[in-house]
Structures are given as structure tokens and as C-alpha cells.
Structure 1
Amino acid sequence: MNMDKEDYDKKKEDSSPHEEFQDAFDTFQAPKPSEDKFQDVEGSGEEDEAEAVDEEKRLENERRAKEDKMSPEERNTLKEEALELKKKGNEAYLSGDNEAAFQLYSQAINTCPLTFTEDRSYIYSNMAASRLKQDRKEEAKDLCSTAIELNPSYVKALARRATLYEGLDKPHEAFEDAKKILELDPRHKESLSAIQRLPDKIKEKDEKMKAEMFDNLKKLGNMVLNPFGFSTENFKFTQDPNTGGYSVNFSK
């Protein structure tokens, strides 16, 4: 049907500018991100980590069920294959090829049956050593922790993790590992030295954390007090040398 000029002009007049603007505004607003979207992004990291842990447990359970059906001879054969891979990893490590060593150790850990926890702890410790050589300290520390979970009295893994904790500025954790080592081996030289050295580092770390806490409290306090003409400078904190506690005095 053809529209004559009169009908066209009438239709144009009936379309108000307000309606046209409202339609455009609605279209513009449609893709506006919601607060829920930001909350989803914020929580996605933790969710991904939880999913990864669940997947790891699922795969481990599947592997355990599969290995339970094996004969002792089959499991021992896999263990020997894993130890051979570990040996090749040691050779690569000694030659300075740390990535090749890590890959061989990874193959060994994927081959060694779960029931051989002590052998697996040694492989994980070697994986940590290769990552430490690559200056991947966090990963090395986590691998040491896995080795210790499998073999809690494994002094070498504990000592390596203690060194890593100290290097990562975690003196409290390093001190706890050193104490554990000395329970297992009272003459362990590195741990005897650490027990003497770490308390000062712990004190320094605690003081640093305390200073950061007070700084954050001052910023928060100023936000509250400034509208009333005051600031945290009006309050003086005095530490009691005997108790370590603080008293607060107000001054104008």
C-alpha cells in the first residue's frame, strides 16, 4: 500500500521526540553492566580454584580406583618405571637442564602408583628443587608441602621449605619448620642456625605489620574525624614497654 504525502506528514507528527529519545535511551541502557556482573568477576577466581581442586580430587579418585584393580606385580612395575624416570630427571638436573628435569619428574609422579607415598614424596621434593633453580619459589614451596603431606618426617623437604619460607618473607612459617626438623634431627645445622636467626626476623615482620595496621587505622580515623575539624594527630599513642599495650591521649 502506498502512503501519500499527507499520511506521511501526519505519521511524522504523531511520533513525538520524547518517544524517539526514550527508545534510544532504552537501547543505550540495555548493555549496561550490572553490579552482579562485577561480583561474578570478583568471585570467579575463587570459584575457578575450587573447581580445579574438585577436578584434581576426581581424577585422583579415578586413578586410585584403577590402581586398586591392579595386581601387586603391576603396581611394582609402574613404580620401577617411575624410578627410572626420576633417575633421568636427576641426570638432567645435575647437567643444569632444570626444565627437562621437571618434566621427567612430572612423568615419574604421573607413573608412580599412589600407594607408594614415600617414593612420591621424594619425586615431589625433586620437582621442588628444579623449580627452585628456576627461581619459581612459590611453586617450589607448594611442591615441598605436597611432599611433606605424603611424608611428614621428610627432613630434606622440610628444610627446603623452611629456606623457601624465609626467602618469601614468611619467618613465622620458616621457624615452625625449623622446630619440626629439630624434633626429628636435633643436630641439623641449618635448623639450629635458623632457630637463632629467625626470632629477630619475626619481630621485625611483626613490627612492620603493626605499623601498616596503624597507618590504615589512621587513614580510616581521618576520614571520620576530618568533618568535625579533628584528625588522628589529635590523639597520641604511647606504648607501655612492659606490656606492649598502648594508651591514648587527646590533645588539641
Structure 2
Amino acid sequence: MSGEDYPSDDDKSFVSARSSHHVSGQDTGHPPSGSRFSPKEEASLLAESNKLKADANSLFAHGSFEEAVQTYDRALSSCPNYLEYELAVLHSNIAACHIKSEQWKEAIDSATKSIEALERIDPLPKPKESQGTGQGKLQTQSAPSAVEEIDDETAEKIEALEKSGRTRDDVQKIRVKAFLRRAKARSETGGWAALQGAYEDYTFLATVTNLSPMDKKTVQKSMAEIGPKLEDAKSKEMAEMMGKLKGLGNSILKPFGLSTNNFQFVKDENSGGYSMNFNQNT
């Protein structure tokens, strides 16, 4: 099944013991600022979070999407808030539930939280500067360089991730799912800004080298479909904006016996600029 349809992102568990009790004095995954739980406390909270996640996965599989979201939220509350990978999985799973319920805005928000959590573990390469400002010029993520530069803080997070039994490939797997889900929700939301965001998400996904054949097909098809929709949405919203500006202008000019029809903009084909002409008789 496609990664954007089923939330079971994480079948592995690096906590072998399952515990149904909370740590004494702590019933959430939020330690004092700047600190971490002890290994025993962390294991207990994470075991509880994993149990709730498994319950939520089961609810999702049976089509109980609202109950699944509630249970994933409980898993988030139990999970230590510095375990970014686990948080990213849960947020991505919640996004999948919202997509099934056609709650597009909520799906976008949850998928974005997943992407941001993974970014704190293993940041993507900085985007290339966009070339030019003409129509259709979009910023896209640059491909990783041959020698990737990683700062000390990121290196520590990656080392901690690997000690927990995860790899950067695992991060990339969840990142792909979250981008697919956000792109899907954005494209369904419609509107110029949402469609542009969806196109940029799919543009990034098109640079991922290890996409599954099904996901690659989804990305290619979606990009081809979004192009015309994006131009239509842009034209429609520009027309609506100009209509509102014209209405505002008419309300200001009316006391003077004028309207926006008295002003005509003429494009200079040589320079590409516009000049404004006033016509009293219009």
C-alpha cells in the first residue's frame, strides 16, 4: 500500500519492554527545560507511547480515524519531547488519519510538524537560490553535495539516532511519507498558495533517489496535474484581487466624480513597463 495511505511508518521498536505505568511524578513526555529523563524514565514513557501508537495503528486499520487521532495524541503526550524521530512518526501518522477524513488543513499542519521534527535531526541541504523571478520559477531543494557538511549539533543528533537503532535512511523514509501527505493535502485544499506549496513538495520528492516505483509514479502524475491547476488558480485569484482593488479605488474616486475607468494602463512593449493615462470622458 502506498506510503501516503497507511500510517504504520515504524514497525521496529528499540524499547523491548512494554510498560503500562507512568513514571512516578511524570505523566507526560516533557522533562524540565534543558534536561532529559533518566534512561529508566525514558524507556518507560517510550514504551507507553509505543503501546498507544500500536493501538492507534489498529484503530486506523479498522477505519476509526477520529479515535486513531485521539490515541496518537495520547502517544505524543507520553513520548519524551526530545525524541524527534518518534514524534515525527506520530505526527506523520496523524496526517494520514486527517487525509482519510479529508481534513486537509489538519493534515497539512501534522505533516509539517513531522517534517520539522526530522529537520531538527538531519537537516536537508539548503535550497538553491531561485534563478530569475519569471513565471514558473520555483525554489527547489538542492541535491546533497559529494562531501556533505554536518555541524557538531547535527552530528550529535545523528549519533544518538543511530545508537537508538535508527539510521538516516529511516529518517528519509518518514520524511518522504510526510512530504507525500502534505503535498496531497495541499493539492486537495486548492488555491494558488496551497497548490504552489504542493508543487514544491513534489519537486523535492522528485529529487529523492530511493522513491518506491509507486511513489515515483504518484509524484510524476501529481506534478503533471498540478501545473495547469496552478496557473488557473493564479489567474483567478489575481482577477479577484484586481476586482477588489478596483472596487476600493471606485469608492475613493466617487466623491470626485471619477472612477477607475478614467485611468488606463498602457504597456510599453520595449521596456515591459506600464504608463498610466487619464481620460476624463470615460
Residue number in structure 1 paired with 2:205: 181
In 1, the alpha carbon distance for the partners of 2:67 and 2:249 equals 54
Q: 1:99 aligns with which of 53, 66, 77?
A: 66
Deviation at 1:233, TM superposition (A): 2.1
- Structural RMSD (CA): 2.8
TM-score, normalised via structure 1 length: 0.66
Superposed displacement of residue 68, structure 1 = 3.5
Q: Provide the secondary structure at the position in 1 that maps to 2:102.
A: coil
Q: How does 1:100-249 map to 2 (within 5 A)?
A: 100-152=67-119, 153=172, 154-169=175-190, 170-185=194-209, 187=211, 188-237=216-265, 246-249=274-277
| CA distance in 2: counterparts of 1:207 and 1:163, whole angstroms | 22
The DSSP-based 3-state class of the residue aligned with 1:63 is coil
Distance 1:115 1:102 in 2: 21
Higher relative contact order (CA 8 A, sep 6+): 2
Aligned-pair identity (%): 33
Residue 112 of structure 1, CA deviation = 1.4
Q: Which structure has the highest helix share of the two?
A: 1
Equivalent pairs counted in the alignment come to 192
Structure 2 residues not aligned, in runs of 5+ = 1-28, 120-171
Please give the secondary structure, in 1, of the residue aligned with 2:37: coil
Specify the structure having the higher radius of gyration (Cα): 1
TM-score (norm 2): 0.60
SS at match of 1:114: coil
Following superposition, which runs of at least 4 residues in structure 1 exceed 6 angstroms of deviation?
240-244
Q: What displacement does 1:92 show?
A: 0.7
- Secondary structure of 1:89 counterpart: helix
Q: In the alignment, is the contact (CA less than 8 A) between 1:67 and 1:75 conserved in 2?
A: no
Matched, 1:70 2:37: yes
**Structure 1 245/196 Cα, relative in aligned 2: closer, same or farther at 3 Å?**
farther
The answer to whether the 8 Å contact 2:65/2:100 transfers is yes
Offset at 1:86?
0.7
Matched AA of 1:173: G
Displacement of 1:139 in angstroms is: 1.6
Q: Secondary structure at the match of 1:64?
A: coil
